[in-house]
Chains A and B, each alone.
Chain A
Amino acid sequence: MVALEKAGIPVVGIVARSFVRAWQSCVDGWGQPSTTFVTIPHATTGQQADFICKMVDEQVDAIIQGLTTLPAAVGTAIGTRGSGQTTELFTVELDATPMGLDAVNHFLAERDWSDGLPVIPPTPAAVEQMLRGTKRSPQDVLMVMEPGFGLATVEKIAINAVMAGCRPEHFPVLLAAIDCLAQPQMNHRDMQVSGHTEAPLILVNGPIAQKAGINYGTSAMGPGVVNSANTAIGRALRLCLINIGYCKAGAGDPNFIGLPTKFGMCIAEHEEMSPWPPYHMDRGFKRDDSAVTVVVVTGPTDIIDSASRTPKDTLNNLASMMFYRNAGAGGWIRGWQSAQVGHSNKRVSYQGPYHPVILSPSRAVILAEAGMSKQDAQAWLHRHCRISLQAALGTRGIPKDDSGRWLSHPELQHLADDPSATIPALESPEQYLLFVSGGSTHYAHFFYGTYGMATVPVEEG
């Protein structure tokens, strides 16, 4: 909407009350905090038409006024603006009292610079030590993080890494995760500002996993000292999204309910126990390379596979998770999604979603023992997870040219009126992202992917 104001025409937004802070955060990021909006009490999504009309009826006068009266200036933009990359220093007084011990957390919480949990104080010495974990220069900018358009310098990332409890050996993994988010196909803007609960899942491959102490065995996605690297790296990425991207809970981040996955998720592949080549080899890396993949997900759901006795049982059980209709199933029929890159006019098309399935080694073994490669398993899921074409088209249909021909996948148009026609839920087998991790038993985790994904090499310090 700010782009339209910039183009010289007035706009008014209709904003649900639970999104007001998100709206304010976005228009602030885009440079016009006073962009006019009216508020309706409830989100329109999932509401009946009569109720939506009733909510809108009460705002018509305000909408007309918004188009005909200049908005008053509101508030001041949050955070330091400009190209300078200096980091402010603050002095906080500590003492041995309970309040004194908590002084740094209190200081950060007052400024909304935290995920709400206690942090390690990011002192200059601690940050300097963190920076020894990389060869990159402290002022290198890895990305501009939305919705706040914050400059993700190596130094700012290091500060947040200290706060999260990272050690220098974790730092290259965190930097690689941010290199992934910087890829346009990650559509990190929507990951940040959507009301839908989406979170980055960090998948680590190669020797860096052991070097950084990332658990890939029993309970690797859970709490505990054995998972301190997993927890700290995942948490550090979330702190970066909050403090560098200005994605504050309830504001830039308007998730209706949220999920604990948003505190952070980082896991490595159990490459020794997996019967298959590790995931980064699927992405063109060598086994001895270290690589980080980030995929944006919601969920997960635990898949209990205790009753399976055959590979087909296991695959059927996995496939049973794939039919949640709002998880992008069949969306590819309308063509690839595209993401806009920051303030530029550049759009990037990307394939998505990718649905990660974290397979316990035991679940991969039951498939491999039957002679199935990972690609065979992906192909099976692709072949069997299908959706009705008519359901995929839904009420939106598909864009057509002047002659009525589908602009996307015209080769399937002859099936449009066939109620029995089905299409694969995901466009390509590779979109079933099979990753082997955890203790070796009869479980798997299934995540619903939402946007794209990226894999990048880890630049070790």
Chain B
Amino acid sequence: MKVQIMSPAANRVDFKVPPAPRLASLEGKTIGLYNNMTGGADIAVDRVAEHISRRYPNVKFERYGGDLRPGRPALSRGNHIDAEEGARIAEEVDAVIGATAH
């Protein structure tokens, strides 16, 4: 016996975002360090910054996460970086390293 069934899987909103251009080098760049305030995320990104500073002494860092920037949206697990905040961060730094899934 054959039975026809309907797909339970929803059609999805079609979002497509191409990858951003990469940096030629980290030399002289400003790197954003984003932690989503889950435990140890700050330690992870700070450790990466230590390593990068040793290799590229003229790199600067900006930190994002939680309510580190009063007047801006608090960025945490519940408050992701939205398009508006993403555009602001992109004006402040050249790249971002994020500890977000842990």
B96 — which chain A residues lie within 8 A by C-beta?
Answer: 1, 4, 9-12
A12 to B20, CA, bound (A): 11
A1 to B87, CA, bound (A): 12
Q: Is the CB of B70 within 8 A of A407?
A: yes
Q: Is the CB of B6 within 8 A of A14?
A: no
B34 — which chain A residues lie within 8 A by C-beta?
Answer: 1
A246 beta carbon closer than 8 Å to chain B: yes
Query: In the complex, which residues 28-56 of chain A have their Cβ closer than 8 Å to any Cβ of chain B?
Result: 29-32, 34-35, 37, 40, 43-47, 49, 52-53, 55-56
Q: Is the CB of A14 within 8 A of B20?
A: no
B25 — which chain A residues lie within 8 A by C-beta?
Answer: 68
Q: Is the CB of A80 within 8 A of B12?
A: yes
A117 to B22, CA, bound (A): 46
Q: Is the CB of B78 within 8 A of A338?
A: yes
A32 CB to nearest B CB, Å: 4
Q: Is the CB of A243 within 8 A of B97?
A: no
A354 — which chain B residues lie within 8 A by C-beta?
Answer: none
Q: How many A-B pairs with Cβ below 8 Å?
A: 301
A42 to B39, CA, bound (A): 12
Q: Is the interface of A mostly helix, strand, loop or mixed?
A: mixed
Indicate which residue in A3, A9, A34, A60 contacts B95 across the interface (CB closer than 8 Å). A9
Interface string of A322-365 (1 = CB under 8 A from B): 00000000000010011110011101000000000000000000
B77 — which chain A residues lie within 8 A by C-beta?
Answer: 190, 194
Q: Is the CB of A122 within 8 A of B48?
A: no
A89 — which chain B residues lie within 8 A by C-beta?
Answer: 4-7
Indicate which residue in B4, B22, B84, B90 contacts A123 across the interface (CB closer than 8 Å). B4
Q: Which of A106-114, A303-311, A432-440 lies at the interface with chain B?
A: A106-114
B25 CB to nearest A CB, Å: 7
B: number of interface residues (CB 8 Å): 70
Query: In the complex, which residues 91-111 of chain A have their Cβ closer than 8 Å to any Cβ of chain B?
Result: 91-95, 104, 107-108, 111
Query: In the complex, which residues 61-102 of chain B have their Cβ closer than 8 Å to any Cβ of chain A?
Result: 66-67, 70, 73-74, 77-87, 89-90, 93-102
Q: Is the CB of A68 within 8 A of B23?
A: yes
Query: In the complex, which residues 6-32 of chain A have their Cβ closer than 8 Å to any Cβ of chain B?
Result: 6-16, 19-20, 22-23, 26, 29-32
Q: Is the CB of B84 within 8 A of A345?
A: yes
B35 CB to nearest A CB, Å: 9
Nearest B residue to A146, CB-CB: B13
Query: In the complex, which residues 1-50 of chain B have their Cβ closer than 8 Å to any Cβ of chain A?
Result: 1-26, 31-32, 34, 37-41, 43-45, 47-48
Q: Is the CB of A14 within 8 A of B19?
A: no
A5 beta carbon closer than 8 Å to chain B: yes
B53 CB to nearest A CB, Å: 11
B80 — which chain A residues lie within 8 A by C-beta?
Answer: 3, 340
Indicate which residue in B5, B43, B95 contacts A122 across the interface (CB closer than 8 Å). B5
Q: Is the CB of B83 within 8 A of A345?
A: yes
A56 to B44, CA, bound (A): 6
B38 — which chain A residues lie within 8 A by C-beta?
Answer: 44-45
A56 to B102, CA, bound (A): 12
